[in-house]
Every structure is written in C-alpha cells, then in structure tokens.
Structure 1
C-alpha cells in the first residue's frame, strides 16, 4: 500500500513538472520578446534544470511535439474529430473547415510564432510544425478521397487537385489572412473558406440546411462546452456525461441542431401525458445572434407538436434575450395564476410561456385548457 502511494505521488509530481515546462514554453511563445527560445530559458522559467526537460521529453523535438499536441487539444481538436467522423463527405468538408478555423483562430499569436520560427529554422521548433503540416496534408488527402468516392468532385477535378486546393484554403496562412488581415470572426472566415472550397471542388454550394437530429454520445463534449460558457446552462451540467443526466428517461427526448452539417445547438423535449416542455436549450457561443436560436426553438416546437397541442417553456426572469426570442416565435406568458401554480415547489422563480400557434386546417391547439405539471 505504501509503495503504491509513493508511486502515485511521484507520478503526480512528474505531471506537475511536465505541465510547468509546457506552460513556460507557452508563455515564451506568447510573449513579444524577440529572444530565441532555448531549452535553458524554458527550464529556468519552469524552475527546473535543463537535464530535467530532456528527461521528461527526450529532446527539443519531443518538447515541441508535446506542446503541439497540447495546443491542439486546448484549441478544439475534439470538434475537428467529430467533423471527420461525419458520414456525409460534404458535412465533413464544411464541419472540418469550421473546426480547423476555430482551432487556429483560438491561438493565432502562438501559431503565428511557431510558423515564423519554422520558416527561419525548422530545427528551432524541433520539426514539430513540419510534422503538424504532414498530418494536415494527410487529412486533406483523406477528405479529397471521400469527396471523390462520393461523386461530389465536379468534372475536371481529381483527388490530387482537390488535395492541393484544400491544403491551401485550410492552411494557417489562409485563416490568418481572413481573421487578422480582414478582421473577420473565426466563423465568418470559416464560411468564406468553406464556400470557396465547395465552389472550387464541387460547384455552387447549396444553402446550409438546418436539421434536428437525435443527440448521441459523439456530441456530448461539444454540448457540454457550450453549456459551461452559459450562466443559464451550468446548473443542469450533472453526472459524467454532464447533460441533464438527472432528467434522462423515456419522457425526455434530446436533440442537436445541425446547420450545414455542423452542430450549432442543443435542446430537450420533456413529455408528460398531453403536454411537452422545451428545456435545456443552448447554442454554440460562436453562433449566437445569427438566427441559430430561432432555428433551434422553431425546430423543437415543430417536433413537440407531433406529441401534444400544449407546448411550454420556462425561462429565468433575467434572461431577457431568451424571453425576447421566445415571444417572437409564438410563445406567450401564461396568466399570473398559472405562473404561481407552475412555480410552486420550484427551486427558483421562472417565467412560464405557452406556444400559441394555429395549424393549417385546425383549431389553435393552445386554446384548449391545460393542466401543465412541470417535470423538474
């Protein structure tokens, strides 16, 4: 038992030292100092001796490779992996460019420094940038093959040409020109680059469709990240999966909104006898104020009406943006006596709204009296 404890303590100490070295390198790369970045300086900043750096990472190349891997993970590698796994090659193209653009844009100064160092002397970054670029080339070639196998490449465009086009449009330099040079947001830059790629390789791109799909484990990390960035979503991040696990059951349906094949929003439908409540809605922070919230609410409401003519939603009183949106798409505040009844037993006060819509050829479904009972 004592030996196991000692080994655990040593492993934890080694990991802390490893993190200290990577953080020291990160600070050096982000600084505006023109001084060359040496292993001696990194060791000094981390409070260790030079030999310890080599003991942990093996070489300067090993250090920069480890830093590059860590930087990719911190910049959003999970989202890129999700895009690559898409069954539709066109979804892979669009989602991959969005994820890749966000990754580079999240740490522009660091990537700019790494690429500049590599251009002057590849050994100064231990060859890490060249290996990153080789991995990127293989990714572009894989995507080009998928587009070709799916019959999406326009006449005259072969896999090799498609690889070259993707290599250029998805490069750090192209993204940096759009974001830094033109002042575009990461998502706007991704839209420009994805459209250019699709036009060059497949012809004129179709309008991005908004599709509601069932939630699956592959979306968990992405949705959790959105929720963590919203003060109104954090309370329902519970359990290992972190997505309202306490509410999951046969009476809870969970969905993800895809726009152009890219996950942009999440929401749940809570069903109870003859009524449905929209719950736990969250939108990708980088897609807010772009109409995605309206698309998400509209899509969820349409699905809800398949189960019941009574569709509700609750909102925290200070979430004025959400209240404004819901009222614009057909939700109305329920009478005060119903507000009081619905809030009885709730951990906090909510504003409760009921959707008011007339279906073609039918009566207004919300004119019928309701005995709504909140699920949670």
Structure 2
C-alpha cells in the first residue's frame, strides 16, 4: 500500500543528518553537563555552542534562550510565571489558540482569578486588531497578550509586528507561540517586539521532546520547574544533550536552505489547492489557508462538499489508503470533540461538513498529492 505523510503540522520527518549527529553525540558525549570533570565539560560545551547558534539565528543573546521539553512547556512557563510572579492580572487572547495556551490560561483564571478577555475574530479567523487596541487602552490592570504567530489548524498568520507594537505602546507583555513559524520564517527578535515565545524542534525536522523558550532579558520571569540551577536557573533538570544538538542542527539547516525549501513547499501547496479546486466542485479552504499572503505555506485546511452523515468514515478511509492527515491538532486526536478552532471560525453549514488538515514538507512530491486528490474524488463519488 502506498504511504503518503501529509501531517507535518503535527510533527515532521527528521533529517538524516540530524539523526546521524544525535547518534554520534549519544555515543561519544554522554557526560552530565552539570558535572565538572571533562566528560561533563564536553557536554556543557556542546549545549552552550548550540545555544549561541540558535540565538544567532534569531538575533538575540544566548542568555535569552532557555531549553525546554517543547512548546507546551515554554508556553506554560511564560504565561504562568507572568501571572504568578510579574503581577499580570489580565490576559488578552483568542478562542482559537493552541490548547497549550488556552489550558494554562484557564488554570490561571481558576487559581489566581486572572481576568481573561477574548478578542473578536474576523470571518476568516484573524484577530480583530482594532478590538485589541481598544482593550489595551484600558491599562488599569497589568496585561499579558498571548496570540500565536501561525495558527496550527487553519494556518492564519498574525501581524506579529503590529500586535507587538500595540503591546509596547500600552506597556503590556506580549507572548506569541511560534511553534509553527520558527524554522519556516526569518525571525529577528532584536526588532520584533515580543517578550516571550515557544518553539518545538519537531516542527522543523528535528527531534521530539525538545524545544526552547525565548525570554527577553529584563522581564523577570521565574522558573516553574525547581530542583537545580540548569538553564540559568529558569528550568531545572539535566539537559537532553543529544536532543538539543539535534534541534540546533535542524534549525541551522532549515535556515540555510530556507528560500529553496520554502519555494518548493509553497509550490506543493499551490498545486494541491489548484487540483482540489479543479476536481472537487464546492471545495472550500478554511480560514486564510488558501491565501499565501495571510497564511503559512505549510498547510491547507480543506472543507469538503460532503453530507455530515457520510463524513464519519472519511479520515478512516484516508488512513486505509495510506494517507496521513488530520482533522485538527494532533494534541487533540484522542478527543471526541470537534476542532475548537473550526467551531469558532466556520459557519454552521460548513461546520457540519468534514474538514481535513493537510500539511506539507520538503519530503512530499506532486505525485503524492495527485494520489491524495484521486482518493478524495473516489470517496466523494461513492457517497
């Protein structure tokens, strides 16, 4: 059976070079980075060189990069500490953020009584920037704005510079989950007015279980995990050396090949979109994902012209045909609930139709996309 992987927004295939380098590190550099002997010093040196390299890619200082287990931990660190330690009493966000953000905001609301304000959304799912500005003008309470740079389900791109400037102008903290953008877009945090962000290595062909938080110096963020002085005292626990090295190499390769690989993946998305439009009358593209300017080049969220009672077997059928895609965030794959993003974006008539998220990478081909289109056409013709 043919195998086609179109779920790179959930996780990406690791580059061979990354696997080889991680294997070498596991074999040769196994000391604890906190140990003072030569084995420990060797591991520590690798970590600090990786930190400097990552910081250089983002145009920040090495001290502003804190290694974590991934994006979820980095999101939790920033939001929880802002409320607990930095006197934030109000959080402004949207209802279509990743659950790594929404769940910790709910926790802060329950535990600390934090006021939560949800921005209005435009019809396509883009936050209403005028509403944000209006809310920020009421600055009686110390405020954190948390808005993701690229939505992981519908691909919408936030005007991150505009939001950051609004936050600076009104003395608010700005946290942005950049899990779907780091490694795919150039990011200059020296000029980008963001205070905190979250990154996961497995979104740009690196290993799972490792990421980092960017924490702008001077913000005063405090640790959530205690037990050691690792990561400048912000994140206790022995560092995962091989994962950190794999992440740094994956990020370096992503930016070294950025223009070429982005053009290739963008071409795949455009080709897939055109084939679907031509061969499936009535197909729709959710959010801004059909628009290159206002969405990421890495995914397409497709609403298919199919009755709700005939849609239940669609994802199962795709899997039987060897096609990996998603009906929403991979973090929610075990839930029977529908997508909270689509629920807040789509009209009822489209919400009752099946939507699938297809996400692309450099390892995909046009031939694979032709196969997927043929499977969809065959399925829709059979109902």
TM-score by length of 1: 0.28
TM-score by length of 2: 0.28
Structure having the higher Rg: 1
Relative contact order, higher structure (CA 8 A, sep 6+): 2
